[in-house]
Structures are given as C-alpha cells and as structure tokens.
Structure 1
Amino acid sequence: MDLHAVIESLPRYGEPLLVTIGVTVASAALALVLAFALGLMTGSRHLAVRTPARVFVEFFRGTSVVVQLFWFAFAMPVVLGIQFDYLIVAGVIALGLNYGAYSSEVVRGAIAAVPQGQLEASTALNLTPFQRMRLVVLPQAWPEMIPSLCAFAIMLLKASALVSVIGILDITWLAGLIGKQPGQDRLLHYGVVLVIYFVLAWLIWTGMRALERRAKRGLGVDAKPVKGRLDPAVAAGGVG
C-alpha cells in the first residue's frame, strides 16, 4: 500500500468535498422547510389538509431514495418533460423531499407533545392561531425536535453519497475513481472518505447540540446539568 500516493491525492478531494457539503446543506434546508409544512398539515384537524400531506409523506417514506434519484434525474425529463440544467439539482430535490417526509413526523410529534394547558391559556389570552403557533407552540416544540432532526441531518449527510449513482462527482465516487489508478490503494482512499464523513457528522452533531442548549436556555431549561449540583426541587426539599 502506497500511503505517500494517497497523501499526494488528497488535494483532489477539495472540489468533490464542496459538492458533498453543498448537497447536504441544500437538501437539509429543503427538508427542514418541507418538514415544518408537512408536520403542520398532517397534524391539522381538517381532513382536506391532512389527507394529501399524509399521502405525500407515506409515498416518499415508502419508496426507495435511489429510485427517487433516478426518477428526478432521468425519468422526469422523459415522462413529464421537466429537465434540470444540472444533475445536482435533481439530487438535492430527491434527498430533500425524502428526508423532509421523514422529518415531518418529528415536527408533528413535537407539536402534539406541547401540553394542552398551554394552548388553552393562549386561547384565553385571545391569541390568534398564528400567534399561538409562533409564540407558544413552536418555542416549546423546537428544542424537542432538535435531537431527532440532528440524527436525520447526519443520515442525510451519509445519504449524499448516493448522488454518485446519477453521475455527480462527490468524495465517494472520487475515492473509487482514484483507487483504481496504478499506484493507488482503493482501501486507503475509502478510509479517507470514512474519516471525512466522520468529521462532517461530528460538526453537525456539535452544532445541533449548541443549538439545542441555546433553545432550552430560551425556555429557562438547563440543557447541560452541572455535575455536583442538586436539582432545585431536591435542594428545596421536594421530589426531584
């Protein structure tokens, strides 16, 4: 195994790494917007709103993301006449729709978990439905969504490697491409890719943990208990 040849090849990962990061960020942004829209719709009391959203969610959760990638990249231009100028757009849309459908259940569940008393109190204050959602429900539901959304974001990062099947040059495809060349070792290059994905996943986890702590501090909740400090209820003689 020629480790020196692998090290010399590392600069070639620069542009494909930007592709992987770009696909992940763009897909995550689309998935987040879709998750909130579908989460609110599937939690609606109105059947006309809830039914199409539920059909959409179950369709994208129940079909293969690889098939969805091929559909948006190759089948849609033939069947519907919709042609994307760049294949990366098809990849972003497919991944964003797929993970948006999964994440919508996180949003719906977190909103449903807000205590009913909070809604009754906001109604008593004569808040409009939009004000109740913006000022009462979402601030309490958001911190509960973050851990699950973090898991889905990391899964989306790893799923971004699937865009290589529709011809997009990302770090996974490049590792296989370089690894086949004379003097290179495919195993070492895939090892490099593993390290890259691990570092990116760790950055996502760290950022989301910081976001969760900030969101909980906004509610007066300490997301990171201090070791050796009693719970306030216990210190006051109550039950912790």
Structure 2
Amino acid sequence: MERLTTYEIFISLIKAGLKVTIQVTFFAAILALVLGFISGLARMSRHRTIRFISGVYIEVFRGTSLLVQLFWIYFALPMMGIRLSALTAGVLAIGLNYGAYCSEVVRSAIQNVPVGQTEACIALNMTKTQRMVKVIIPQAFVMMLPNLGNQLIELLKSTSLVSMITLTDLTYQANILNATTFETTKVYTMLLVIYFIIGLPLSKGVKLLEAKVSEGRV
C-alpha cells in the first residue's frame, strides 16, 4: 500500500482539484450575484407578473435541496434533450441556488433604507431609476455586504457537491486519494486546510470592501 506524506497529499489535491473548485466558485458566484440583484429588485416590482415569476424562482430554489437540483440539472435535463457539461451543470445549480438566497439579502437591504431617503429624492424630482441607482442601492449595498459575503463563503463550501457528478474538484480528488491510499486522516485534514486557505482571502476581501464603502458614512 502506497504511503504518501502530508506534503505529497497536499500537492496532489492542489494539482488535480484546485483549478476546478476555483472555476466553479468564480462563475457560480457571478451568476448568484447577478440573479440575486435581478430577482431581488423584481420581487419589489409594481408588476404582479414579474413579482410572481421572481417569487416562484426564489421559493423553488430555496425550498429544495441543492444536491437534488444538481442531480436534476445534470441527470434529468439530458432526458429532455438538454445536455450540459459537468462544469456547466455545477455552476448553474450552485449559481441558481445561491442567487435565490442573495435575492432576499438584496430585497431586505433595499427595504431597510430609510423612507426619508426616497421622500427626499421625490422632492428633488428624481425618477425612480435615478432614486434607485444614485441613492437607494448605494446605501443598501453597505447593509447587504456582510450577508452577501456570508453567502459567498457558503457557496465556496457547497462546491464540494460537484464531486457527486464526477467533476474532478478538490473533494473528488480527495475521495480518489483516500480510496487508493487509505490515508483518511491526512487526506481530509488537508482538504479542510485547503478550503480554509481559499475561503480566508474571500472573507477578508469582503470585510475590506465593507470598510471601504462605509468610509464617511454614519
């Protein structure tokens, strides 16, 4: 039985799985943030149809398991003639799922902006678009940053699920190493360390951004 050192396990995981994990995290995060802002704003639309569509999307993806969503996109869609690569399916499932959660963060932050701000904008004869872009969203963005940061950290950790559809991310490679070496403690300890190393800059970056946009605000 081959015995690997801690360093060899670390390098094996980095070489084989890190790129895929970062790719899934990056593209899923972009999709989640875009969908979060769009559906969060749509949830407050004056048009009932838009609110309904947004509401259905949010409730479906928040109310069902991410793993089931991943399986459905990767295994069920091909039966309907829609075939996606494992990477695309992983990005789509995670992005759609966390987009639903981000939408509630966006909606809540916008609704928490003091009503006086809107009234002042109306008094200045600003259009609704001008109010949202120049006054409401900038103030809401400061409030939503901490929760959005938490969602991005959770999104990173959820990328481990893509190993279930044979995508060779960090977790998939860890499972392969464990099956071939039986170095269970070393393999999964290194996996924890690597996820922590990836997540730490993300967490610190959000805090720095939060401090930056909060400068000069009471």
| Common fold: TM-score over 0.5 | yes
Cα distance in structure 2, aligned partners of 1:3 and 1:204: 34
Deviation at 1:179, TM superposition (A): 1.6
Structure 2-normalised TM-score? 0.94
SS at match of 2:187: helix
Structure 1-normalised TM-score? 0.86
Deviation at 1:96, TM superposition (A): 0.1
Say yes or no: does 1:221 pair with 2:196.
no
SS at match of 1:181: helix
Cα distance in structure 2, aligned partners of 1:115 and 1:173: 47
Q: 1:168 to 1:124 in 2, by over 3 A?
A: same
SS at match of 1:180: helix
Say yes or no: does 1:70 pair with 2:71.
yes
Structure 1 unmatched ranges of 5 or more: 223-240
Q: Superposed, which structure 2 residues align to 1:1-240 within 5 Å? A: 5-13=5-13, 14-79=15-80, 81-84=81-84, 86-182=85-181, 184-217=182-215, 220-221=216-217
Q: 1:3 to 1:116 in 2, by over 3 A?
A: farther
Cα distance in structure 1, aligned partners of 2:75 and 2:207: 38
Aligned residue pairs: how many?
A: 216
SS at match of 2:217: coil
Cα distance in structure 2, aligned partners of 1:155 and 1:136: 29
- Please tell me the root mean square deviation across aligned C-alpha atoms, in Å: 1.5
TM superposition outliers: structure 1 runs of 4+ over 6 Å: none
Cα distance in structure 1, aligned partners of 2:4 and 2:127: 65
Deviation at 1:3, TM superposition (A): 7.6
Cα distance in structure 2, aligned partners of 1:8 and 1:165: 24
Structure 2 unmatched ranges of 5 or more: none
- Structure possessing the higher radius of gyration over alpha carbons: 1
Cα distance in structure 1, aligned partners of 2:124 and 2:46: 22
